[in-house]
A and B are shown apart, each in its own frame.
Chain A
Amino acid sequence: MGGDKEKSIIEKFLEDNVLFLGPDPDIMEDHSVVPTTPREAAALKAFTDTETMNLVRHKLQTACNESFDMVEQMGAAPGAKWGDLISGVWTANGDLAMASMGGVLIFSVLTQHPVKFILKYWKDDPTVGLKDGDIFMHNDARYGNIHNTDQSLVIPVFHNGELICFTGAIVHEGENGAIEPGGMPSAAESPYDEGLKMSPIKVGENYEFKRDIMTFLQNSVREPKLQLEGMKSKFFAAMRMKSRVEDAIAEYGVDAVVATLRKTLTDTETEVRRRLTCWPDGKVRTNVFADGTLRENCLIRIRCELHKKGDELIIDFRGSSPEFLNRPNNTVLASLKGMLAQEFLSFVWPDLPRNQAVFAPMTVLTDRKSALHCSADAPNAQSMMTFFPGFTAIQIGVPKYLYSSSHRATDVIGGWYNMIVTFLYGGINQYGELVGNVCADLNGMGGAARWNRDGEHSLAPVFAPMADIGEQELIEEEVPLIKIVPHKLMTDGEGFGKFRGGHGYQQIATMKDSSMWGFMCCSIGSKFPSTYGIFGGYAPGTLPLCKVKGVNVFEVMKDHRELLRYSIPEIMNERPFPGAKYSTHHMGLQLEFAEPGELYMITQGGGGGYGDVLERDPALVSKDFLDGLLSMRSVQQVYHVVLDEKTGAVDQAATDQARQAEREMRKSRAKPYHEFVKEWETEKPPRDVPFYGSWKDRSLLYRGSPDDTCPADDIRSVMMPNPKDVRIAELEAQLESLRGGADVERAHRRS
């Protein structure tokens, strides 16, 4: 009796009394483009001249690029200076229709969420509203974007009282008041350790920032001046974009702008679907293993099954690792989609417009509360540690479609290096100011090999094809971070193959002239490579963090220049500084204060190789050897090339013989598939390797031990022990063992 009515009253009550407007799954889990509205349909009907529409599109595109340049030139954050940003135009429905060509293209597919939140919740809220002159900001990844070191700013553009679009920019600002300085805290154990968490918020009216809110935001971070400056530069860029939109309206009419934005989205999606039909139908599967959380090493499985049928692509990550509730390596689903879109925007179809429709034909499947679809309770500041591997999972899978595709806009390519190997820093700079941020050296990731040529050395980050690494001299003017060796390519750093991946560079850093200075690092791949080759090409190797502590190299080398070494292997193997402590670690370093002249050393990774090493042109092997890129061991034992160590001259006959011998060796040492599988495969993960994710059955996830499982559709989040507690327990066990031994010895003596 009256059940429906009663339910309806309860539902209405709940709707009217929402206690907290948290991240909205309807917004956050939907990456489709809003269907054409009646207003847009009317504009498309009224404005049909495709030639003129092309002009309007180019005008707006140029405006996007112009405002991008403005932020890059004006921004004070290192991220802004090297292009970790985009600027763009969102439709009145909140979809990103056009974005700047350069910068971090991940943003192209995940900036719409905060705009849609504003439209859904604030536009008609009497306490907030949406009107001409308003300025909105946001930085919490649970409401959109990648992680809360990125801040976005949008403003609405009205014409005769009608909302036409939004303009704005999103920038990696860096410092955000988290538990560690610099904006990407690997020490965060909850979202509340990650610093400033802006849900979409109105920060200004009448084209002016509200001073009270500005002060609150500045008061929430370690670099208040940077916060102010970042907000201003984004706002001015948004204003410039707005004036360009108004120019276009004045010149071509409002329908022209509305129709152009709409048609750009529609045409992009149509073209992506057309291109997908050129791929063969079927499934491609890959496995990627992230080897740590940045606090400890463990194996985190990223399981990927691509299913392409007709004009759709399903990307299925079900069976991947559970989320880590007290580690920041979890990915918000929307962030994952942004990074996946990067594959298509940068590596497959870079000729397409930069907007969110590029990803619309893709479907992403994940398990809730997995590391790639984490809950709001899980920290995500270092989501790159799982979504970069997620990206690699599709990057090494897509070539298996693309190779036989009837249309290609780019070359078939292996796995690009995918980790942010650089230093984050925090402390007092040489001007006495508290600073915290990240170095742009992370942008020198090694390029992957292609089907027809080698990968480029230290070319670009996997998430932004056009970004700079910055000038070390300029960095040293601002912060007391000195690079003894800033960028020296690493011997054997490539993914070997018929075509090799590009190398990464070594970075040897220290500190000088600061009363307090700390370093952090945030990369995985010290035990298990983080990216891979394709079609028989190898991955690059693994990478350590190396430290030399207990020495001031400036003091020691003052009168002993001969102690200087120019590479990490020389320093670590020759140990030139007497009394210093030399150590290696995984690349997850939480804020560690350094003394002047102590060395922190990391190596940017190389790209994956392409094809069988035995097919590499010996002349290319010789050239790499002479250039110092390749050791003689790798020349002989990986490439099986015989050459003269002094001149590099290749002995072709001996090389042919060595390679034929290796082919015969391969056949003699390998086993037929089924025989191999019988010996190789185990029912469960190894007991001595902490493994997270499915093993044989994607519906059953392991939680670090072969005895600890949970269903993939009902994940129990992982809580990791404090690594220091783990270490203390190990040492106590050793102590106990020694004491026990001593007791036995004493008892033995007494008897």
Chain B
Amino acid sequence: MSTQRVAITEYLEIDLGQERWHCRRCGHDIAPARSNYKEGLLVYNRDPREIHRPILDDSYPFTYAPDPKWCRIIEFYCPSCGTMIENEYLPPGHPLTHDIELDIDSLKERHGSAEGKANAAG
């Protein structure tokens, strides 16, 4: 069985043989490649002001910080190494985004050929 892994993002790769998402930092087996990789990650709802600090004093209605009633940062971490694999800026309660849904059969076919082995950023 092939164990070739294809880097899909900075932190995610797909094991074509096992058809699994893996963390590229620690190798953690995240989720089936045909499913939403986020389902295998830890998720945190962050107040955006923790990252984007208010630069103006709080007497002003607009301070350079996002409004936490309108905007939350949803952070996705590898359960093993804690790397932040993705994040989303969403209104409170907004459904999370299933952002990557690749055609795994096509990917396997592509990387079975020489063409797919050039994977520069990976």
Contact = CB atoms under 8 A, between A and B. Distances in A.
Interface in A363-405: 397, 399-400, 403-404
A654 B27 CA distance: 26
B interface, over-half SS = loop
A612 B67 CA distance: 23
Interface string B102-116: 110011001000011
Interface string A392-428: 0000010110011010100110000000000000000
A523 to B, nearest CB: 12
A527 interface: yes
Nearest to B60: A584
B102 A403 contact: no
B106 A282 contact: yes
Nearest to A308: B103
Contact of B86 (A535, A615, A671, A674): A535
Given A284-B100, A404-B119, A543 B64 contact: yes
Nearest to B99: A285
B87 interface: yes
A411 B120 CA distance: 10
Interface in A649-690: 662-664, 666-667, 669-674, 676-677, 680-682, 685-686, 688-689
A613 interface: yes
B43 A406 contact: no
Contacts of B61: 584-585
Nearest to A397: B99
A572 interface: yes
B73 A667 contact: no
Contact of A673 (B38, B53, B88, B116): B38
Contacts of A287: 88, 90, 94, 97
Interface in A252-291: 278, 280-287, 289, 291
Most chain B CB within 10 A, of A404, A534, A544, A614, is at A404
A671 B106 CA distance: 33
A283 B36 CA distance: 12
A569 interface: yes
Contacts of A666: 42, 44, 75, 77, 82, 84
Interface string A486-527: 000001100010100000000000000000000000000011
A539 interface: yes
A612 B83 contact: yes
A421 to B, nearest CB: 13
Contacts of B1: none
B82 to A, nearest CB: 3
B55 A404 contact: no
B60 A572 contact: yes
Nearest to A538: B51
B8 A680 contact: no
Interface stretch (A37-45, A331-339, A630-638, A734-742): A630-638
Contacts of B90: 287, 289
Nearest to A694: B95
Contacts of A586: 62
A625 interface: no
A688 B69 CA distance: 8
A399 B89 contact: no
A403 B9 contact: yes
Given A667-B42, A685-B93, A496 B51 contact: yes
B63 interface: yes
Contact of B42 (A412, A526, A546, A672): A672
Nearest to B66: A542
A671 B65 contact: no
Interface in B26-45: 38-45
A573 interface: yes
A586 B102 CA distance: 39
A583 interface: yes
A695 interface: yes
A399 B9 contact: yes
B97 A286 contact: yes
B103 A681 contact: no
B64 A663 contact: no
A536 interface: yes
Contacts of B50: 637
Contacts of A677: 43, 96
Contacts of A451: 10, 121
A596 interface: no
Nearest to B38: A673
A210 interface: no
Given A544-B60, A663-B82, A670 B77 contact: yes
B92 interface: yes
A403 B107 CA distance: 13
Contacts of A689: 69-70, 91-92
B51 A535 contact: no
Contacts of A297: 70
B97 to A, nearest CB: 5
Nearest to A688: B69
A496 B75 CA distance: 14
A528 B49 CA distance: 11
A527 B84 CA distance: 24
Given A584-B60, A689-B69, A673 B101 contact: no
Contacts of B64: 492, 541-544, 603
A426 to B, nearest CB: 24
B106 A280 contact: yes
Interface in A437-458: 451-452
Contacts of B70: 291, 297, 299, 527-528, 689
B52 A542 contact: yes
B87 A536 contact: yes
A583 B56 CA distance: 11
A618 interface: no
Interface in A13-37: none
A696 interface: yes
A529 interface: yes
Nearest to B119: A404
A596 to B, nearest CB: 25
Given A285-B97, A285-B98, A286-B99, A404 B82 contact: no
Contacts of B96: 677, 680-681
A532 interface: yes
Contacts of A541: 52-53, 55, 64-66
B57 to A, nearest CB: 5
Nearest to B81: A663
Interface of B: 6-11, 38-45, 50-53, 55-57, 60-67, 69-71, 73-77, 79, 81-103, 106-107, 110, 115-116, 118-122
11 contacts: A411-B121, A527-B67, A527-B70, A539-B52, A543-B64, A544-B60, A546-B56, A585-B62, A666-B44, A667-B82, A689-B92
Given A289-B89, A634-B53, 13 more contacts: A285-B101, A404-B7, A528-B91, A535-B11, A541-B65, A542-B52, A614-B84, A615-B83, A663-B82, A673-B41, A677-B96, A680-B93, A681-B93
